[in-house]
Amino acid sequence: MTDCDKLAQLVMDRCDELGKISQSDDCLDRRYLTKEHKQANGLVGGWMQDAGMQTWQDEAGNLWGRWQAADPDAPRFIMGSHLDTVPNGGQYDGMLGVITPVTLIAAMKQAGIRLPFHLDVVGFGDEEGTRFSSTLLGSRALTGQWPANWADVKDSDGISLAQALKDFGSDFASVPNAAISTDNLLGYLELHIEQGPVLEDLDLPVGVVSAIAGAKRFEFNVIGMAGHAGTVPMNLRQDALCASSEMILAIEKVAQNHGIVATVGRIQNRPNGVNVISGNTGFSLDIRSEFDDKRDVALDEILLELDAIAARRNVRIERKATHAANAVHCDAKLQSVLRKAIETQNIPVHTLFSGAGHDAMAMADICPVAMLFIRCDKGISHHPAEAIDTPDVAVSLAVLSHTLQNLS
């Protein structure tokens, strides 16, 4: 097979090129069902075709490429990740897991290697959930988990998911057709940057993922009473922003006490005037743990704390669950194949847990899943400073090549 160092540089160059497709001139921001999503599918689909793969786009906007086995009735194995980004994101999160296998397939074909199964590579249209505040939309479509009430979910511009699909050239009613058959489905493997500092701390290029944290997300709306900043005494105020601030600090404290992670990443304040008491504040909550029961105990305490703060401050609080995913444990057999592949590179094998959610979580509902993490600089992700090293990409290519040729 072609030298992995040269292939790794090609992967890096392609990540650079894909990273230029953004709806913002100031940062990388590529969201689901936008014209930039369509452009990304077109670019990566071209690379798939250059590799000799059959390509198509499913009803949910996911991009597919297939390296077909000699036997048309052969089973299928899927690799992939997502092509959307967070606002002001990095150019390796998700994208690396699509570009790398496509680049590898071209080299394996050129070397005359054949696999006894169809190898599909999927670029999911939405994993981050940035546009519609609900993650894993792309992979959930594959697993048949698209409830009808998602049609009316709206983005920040008031565009519904149903309308966005129509604008993209698809149709909400047809999305169930994107669900794939589980017959002869061998499994799913996702290459992803670690998004944490563990591998760098251990000076290791790659690691095997044992499990993925379970996560829940909520949107909270705190309703107070807007008023003049100079005329309403402090003790008579129903300040939604102050109440929300206390709630956010309570969330932090409960999370620390329970040894889980909880994040308020978005706040919206209204009317948001410099001389106006806040009348309405909305904020998000993302709460995660490797153990579902531990997470849920902490969540129950958080909800009680927020209700108590609302009552004490004479404001109302509303909440809406937007995402729920249980912890997922990776397939033991696929993990074993990955470990052996790493050993062939004379690299110590390290197994680690993923605190971040991934498309593999949804895919685990229909097939065995595995993940290979690659080291990232200082563990930084969801940020323009997100970075990986070309030699580490070369190692991941070698590991994936060995893995694919030793799946039984």
Q: Which contiguous run of DSSP H or E holds residue 205?
A: none
Kindly state the percentage of the chain with pLDDT values over 70: 100
Q: What is the pLDDT of residues 360-394, one digit of tens each?
A: 999 999 999 999 999 999 999 999 999 999 999 99
* Res. 1 pLDDT band, cuts 50 70 90: low
pLDDT of 151 above 60: yes
The answer for residues whose C-beta is within 8 angstroms of residue 360's C-beta and 6 or more apart is 188, 190, 212, 328, 330, 369, 370, 371
| 300 and 349 share one domain | no
Q: Are residues 13 and 77 in the same domain?
A: yes
- For residues 271 and 331, membership in a common domain is answered with no
Same domain membership, residue 124 and residue 236: no
Domain identity same for 129 and 37: yes
Check whether 105 has a pLDDT greater than 90: yes
Q: Based on the fold, state whether residues 93 and 172 are members of the same structural domain.
A: yes
Q: Is 403 helix (H, G, I), strand (E, B) or coil?
A: helix
Does position 408 have pLDDT exceeding 80, yes or no?
no
Domain count, the chain: 2
Question: Quick one: pLDDT band at residue 23, thresholds 50, 70, 90?
Answer: very high
Distance CA(142)–CA(78), nearest Å, equals 12
Q: What span, in angstroms and rounded, lies between the C-alpha atoms of 38 and 21?
A: 10
Based on the fold, state whether residues 265 and 165 are members of the same structural domain. Answer: no
In a shared domain, residues 95 and 163: yes
Last residue in a domain, options 325, 360, 387 = 325
What pLDDT score does 225 carry? 98
Residue 331's CATH number = 3.40.630.10
Say yes or no: 239 and 299 in one domain: yes
CA dist., res. 376 & res. 345, Å (int): 19
pLDDT tens string 229-287: 999 999 999 999 999 999 999 999 999 999 999 999 999 999 999 999 999 999 999 99
Mark which of 325, 342, 362 sits at the end of a domain. 325
Report the pLDDT value the prediction gives residue 2, as an integer from 0 to 100.
Answer: 58
Q: Are residues 138 and 209 in the same domain?
A: yes
Give tens-digit pLDDT for 70-95: 999 999 999 999 999 999 999 999 99
Whole-angstrom distance, CA of residue 252 vs CA of residue 256: 6
Q: Which two tokens stand for residue 33?
A: 């069902």
| Burial of 73 (C-beta count, 10 Å sphere; 0-12/13-18/19+) | exposed
CATH number, position 289: 3.30.70.360
Q: Do 209 and 341 fall within a single domain?
A: yes
Mean pLDDT score of the chain, rounded to an integer?
Answer: 96
Q: Of 325, 347, 364, which residue sits at a domain end?
A: 325
Q: Give yes or no: residues 373 and 229 share one domain.
A: no
| Residue 248: predicted pLDDT | 98
**Segments forming the whole domain that contains residue 83:** 4-213+327-404
Q: In this structure, what token pair is assigned to residue 392?
A: 């580490």
Helix (H) or strand (E) holding 305: helix 292-312
